[in-house]
Structure 1
Amino acid sequence: MSDAGGKGGSSVSDEEWERFLRDPLTGAAEAPVEPSARARAVERRLRERPGEPEGWRTYSPARPRRKKGRYVAGLVAAAALLAVAFFPQQLVSWFGGGGGDGQDGAPLAAESGRPREAPGAEPALRPTVDEPFRGSPAARWADGAAGITVPAAKATGWMDAAQVERVLRQSRDFLVAAGLDSHVLRGERPTKAIALLNPHQKDVQEYLRTALSSKTPTAKTDPLLLFSRFRPQQARLVGDVVKTRGRLTYREGKRGAVEVTADVTFVYPVTAAGDSGGDAEVVRTIARREVVMSWDDPAKVITEPGTMSLVSYALDMTNGGCSAPTGYFVPPFDTADEQLTDKSRKLDPYDRSKPIDASNGTAATGNDCTAATRS
């Protein structure tokens, strides 16, 4: 018992042994148990180990293994995020995100570049007075000016960034004044839009005089090339919302000018002027315009502050009339479905993946009985 008393590593103190020896009767009943050599060795090692020791008979459960499924789930989640980032429109069509008729679908993100393809097919549902964009990709487009994307401005040509930002805003103002102004849509003179045009650009000023005064415009003097107009006696807008989708881009042009290009599609739901019932036929007239505007350096080009020169303008139009130009959109009420049987070219008016196929820089492809494959 040389290790007794706690000096040799035993857990039994000297006082306990002495009490046991003095009172053998009690000690027999309550004699301390001398730990085994193995227990003393384990206790010694635990005392020498830093930190809070575990009991030598305690149980430490095994650490659970990580499941392979977690890695698989992580990869699937990463792939889903990439799919949403790069193919949002396809995912919407796969999983029915269009809300059936497109009315309940989430609005599309702003158009920041030319799409790679036309939007997917929508359910073949006719528009109504209450839902004039039903069955159309335009149901998820923005309203009015909000659908025209304006890029960030940076110094270009003769302008600094602040000046570029201002002319981009004015370029959008021109599109709004020409294609969304309620007075212009009713056939009134596009005064606000004309105020943004360089009064010293002779060819454009001649076009404006002829287009807005002639009762028999030609394909090259048709005011529809720049302005959206309906005869109030023939058609009226359904509600006060026109859907739009498009964007502005810019670059340095001739003589250091800032050249802004607009590519915007306008969707106008209309009914016949005398048809005001809830079951009235709704026709969507769709106009896509490409307008190139030059904001010139006044030191190099004769111009007026706050005005721009037109480089080119072109129009693609469907459901706006197939007869000779009248200067107004002429929706094909009661005959909209018959246009597809015409021998004219067919056009998906919602396909913005290709530029307008204009015959020249200032003429339109409209008023040539272009038939819409959908509206």
Structure 2
Amino acid sequence: MSSDDFTPEPPRLDRPSTGGPEEIPDWVRQLEREIRVGPATRLRIWFGRHARGLRLGVGAVLALALLAYLGAAGYRHVRRPADPPRAYPTVSPPAGIQATTAASPPPAAGPFDGTPAGAFPEGAAGITLPPAKATGGFTAKQVSATLTKVRTALVTARLDRAFMTAKDRERLVRQFAPDARRHLREEVSDASFISVATRLAPGARLLPDQPRVKGRVTYRATRDEQGIRMLRVTTNFVWAYAFLSPGAAPGDAVVVVHDTLVWEVPHPDDVRSRDNGLWLTDMGSYASNVDCAAFHKGLLDLGKGGDGKPVATPTPDRDSLYDPDRSLDIPDTC
């Protein structure tokens, strides 16, 4: 019997006999009709005989189908693109010859781990100057001298710890042209001066780790309203400071300051000696994760804003505050 036979062949009671049809009793014919196995019955019998194998087969098919579905779903999950980063307003670099931070960050672990500043160079290594080229009546030597003055002022203003803890601004102010010094002393308030320089609040404690720095320096020759030739230098930097703090999450102890400053040096042949030197003609900044009371006095310390949020830290793009190309136009939460 082949495997396709559902049941044994029933006896053929209707075969003709030598005695003729009349010799087959009616009860035999009736019995034949009652025991004949129809298609539905045959199917039930077959299922009964093969129930265990059928369950195993169906289980295997279902398992394969489930694996196929999960595999396809997993593939779709892997192939699905990640959610794009949230957009935030940025600025375009100013026209001119420029250089961006190029130094490699230090490999050691520290308080900046888990933040974008972990990939920034330490201190002055993050200030990369563009090549000095003759432009607009300024010689390459004059351009180089101007860029050096700007870099020295930046290092004093944002990285010199002796200046940060000093009670006056003179260490920085005396680096400007004589007439520019008077302006910085008399007309720039303490609250505004924080856009130019970092001064620590009493009791604020920086960790020994060097601040992390990233940004860009751009210069070009121009003329002011009076036709005086000017070498204009635009600096755009993010400064990240590590403060002593019990906070354990990445960035809890990090204060971020992002400033954009416009420095100008007039051509020495076009101005009086008192005007010759470094001028600051525009400034803007924001700070994040600072103490509000100190910040309003132009001083820096780790703290929280008046509403419990870090100062000027719009959620949910906190990491964007470390981007030098981020717009300075953000809300102050103090």
Partner of 1:14: none
Change over 3 Å in CA distance of 1:138–1:297 after alignment to 2:
same
Larger Rg: 2
Partner of 2:105: none
Q: Does 1:329 align with 2:300?
A: yes
SS at match of 1:170: helix
Instruction: Check whether the contact 1:298–1:304 (CA below 8 A) recurs between aligned residues.
Output: no
Instruction: Check whether the contact 1:237–1:268 (CA below 8 A) recurs between aligned residues.
Output: yes
Opposite residue 369 of structure 1, the aligned amino acid is: T
Q: Does 1:315 align with 2:292?
A: no
Counterparts of 1:202-351 in structure 2, within 5 Å, are 205-209=182-186, 217=190, 221-233=191-203, 235-254=204-223, 255-271=228-244, 283-304=253-274, 307-323=277-293, 325-332=296-303, 338-339=308-309, 345-346=314-315, 348-351=320-323
Change over 3 Å in CA distance of 1:158–1:189 after alignment to 2:
farther
What is the alpha-carbon distance in structure 1 between the residues aligned to residue 306 and residue 212 of structure 2? Answer: 20
What is the alpha-carbon distance in structure 2 between the residues aligned to residue 284 and residue 336 of structure 1? Answer: 18
Per-residue deviation at 1:345? 4.6
Partner of 2:324: 352
Per-residue deviation at 1:232? 3.5
SS at match of 2:244: strand
Per-residue deviation at 1:252? 0.7
Instruction: Check whether the contact 2:289–2:313 (CA below 8 A) recurs between aligned residues.
Output: no
Instruction: Check whether the contact 2:259–2:286 (CA below 8 A) recurs between aligned residues.
Output: yes
Instruction: Check whether the contact 1:178–1:190 (CA below 8 A) recurs between aligned residues.
Output: no
* Structure in which a larger fraction of residues adopt helix: 2
Counterparts of 1:151-170 in structure 2, within 5 Å, are 151-170=130-149
SS at match of 2:269: coil
What is the alpha-carbon distance in structure 2 between the residues aligned to residue 343 and residue 249 of structure 1? Answer: 26
Counterparts of 1:141-152 in structure 2, within 5 Å, are 141-152=120-131
Change over 3 Å in CA distance of 1:291–1:344 after alignment to 2:
closer
What is the alpha-carbon distance in structure 2 between the residues aligned to residue 196 and residue 352 of structure 1? Answer: 25
Instruction: Check whether the contact 1:238–1:269 (CA below 8 A) recurs between aligned residues.
Output: yes
2:160 to 177, 181, 192: 181
Question: What TM-score do the two structures reach when normalised by structure 1?
Answer: 0.52
Instruction: Check whether the contact 2:306–2:333 (CA below 8 A) recurs between aligned residues.
Output: no
Per-residue deviation at 1:336? 11
Per-residue deviation at 1:271? 1.8
- Per-residue CA deviation, residues 219-266 of structure 1 (Å, 9 max, x unaligned), is xx5321211011242x11111411000121100122221111111110
What is the alpha-carbon distance in structure 2 between the residues aligned to residue 133 and residue 320 of structure 1? Answer: 16
Change over 3 Å in CA distance of 1:193–1:207 after alignment to 2:
closer
- Per-residue CA deviation, residues 73-96 of structure 1 (Å, 9 max, x unaligned), is xxxxxxxxxxxxxxxxxxxxx9xx
Partner of 1:191: 170
Q: How many residues align?
A: 222
Q: Where do 5+ consecutive residues of structure 2 fail to align?
A: 1-81, 83-97, 102-108
Partner of 2:70: none
Instruction: Check whether the contact 1:177–1:190 (CA below 8 A) recurs between aligned residues.
Output: no
What is the alpha-carbon distance in structure 1 between the residues aligned to residue 217 and residue 164 of structure 2? Answer: 22
What is the alpha-carbon distance in structure 2 between the residues aligned to residue 344 and residue 137 of structure 1? Answer: 15
SS at match of 1:153: coil
Opposite residue 185 of structure 2, the aligned amino acid is: L
> Over aligned residues, Cα RMSD in angstroms?
3.5
Instruction: Check whether the contact 2:214–2:324 (CA below 8 A) recurs between aligned residues.
Output: no
- Work out which structure has the larger RCO, using CA pairs closer than 8 Å and 6 or more positions apart in sequence: 2
What is the alpha-carbon distance in structure 2 between the residues aligned to residue 259 and residue 181 of structure 1? Answer: 24
What is the alpha-carbon distance in structure 2 between the residues aligned to residue 350 and residue 278 of structure 1? Answer: 19
Instruction: Check whether the contact 2:121–2:212 (CA below 8 A) recurs between aligned residues.
Output: yes
Change over 3 Å in CA distance of 1:140–1:294 after alignment to 2:
same
What is the alpha-carbon distance in structure 1 between the residues aligned to residue 286 and residue 113 of structure 2? Answer: 22
Per-residue deviation at 1:158? 3.0
2:179 to 200, 203, 223: 200
What is the alpha-carbon distance in structure 2 between the residues aligned to residue 243 and residue 306 of structure 1? Answer: 32
Counterparts of 1:98-109 in structure 2, within 5 Å, are none
Instruction: Check whether the contact 1:184–1:227 (CA below 8 A) recurs between aligned residues.
Output: no
Opposite residue 217 of structure 2, the aligned amino acid is: L
What is the alpha-carbon distance in structure 2 between the residues aligned to residue 295 and residue 353 of structure 1? Answer: 25
SS at match of 1:146: helix
Instruction: Check whether the contact 1:242–1:266 (CA below 8 A) recurs between aligned residues.
Output: yes
